[in-house]
Amino acid sequence: MTRRGTIAGIARHAFPKAPMEVIDQVDITVEGGVHGDFRGTVKPGGRGRRQVTLIERGDWDAAMAEVGHNIAWQERRANLLVDGLDLPQVPGTLLRIGDVILEITRQTDPCERMEMLATGLTAALSVDWRGGVCTRVKAGGDIAVGDEIGIEEP
């Protein structure tokens, strides 16, 4: 498994069903996840298991090939596009991007919106965690496209 990769894209949406805004850099906080993204805020009594979502470029490309489309990655509605790193499929694994530490909580299940983008996309993203991972923010900081992402060794 590759232990290091790069952040190839950053996206956020301000409210449910809002269009995704692609940005070059962003602040990530323990309280709010990706600044400006409505999903990152930990709700009262919540556990924040879906503060920041990540998807591998290779997995998105494979899903696109499977359904015969070329849809922009941000339409997956993930926050971070990762290039060159196999995201671990193990809840509790820590990822580091500079000062930011993210804890993998679960896989990101594809929603019904994926099927509206392309017939068969939900199934294509359901295989082997191809839809990405959900994370909880353990330490915040600023990140930018091009930053290195790696697996935190225990």
The pLDDT assigned to 28 comes to: 98
The pLDDT assigned to 84 comes to: 96
The domain spans of the chain are 4-151
The pLDDT assigned to 3 comes to: 86
The pLDDT assigned to 154 comes to: 66
Query: Of 121, 41, 42, nearest to 75 (Cα)?
Result: 121
Taking 50 as the pLDDT cut, the residues of the chain under it are 1
Query: Of 100, 104, 105, 103, nearest to 139 (Cα)?
Result: 100
The pLDDT assigned to 101 comes to: 97
Question: Considering the entire predicted model, what is its pTM?
Answer: 0.94
Tokens found for residue 51? 């503060």
CATH of domain 4-151: 2.40.33.20
The pLDDT assigned to 93 comes to: 96
Tokens found for residue 98? 């500079």
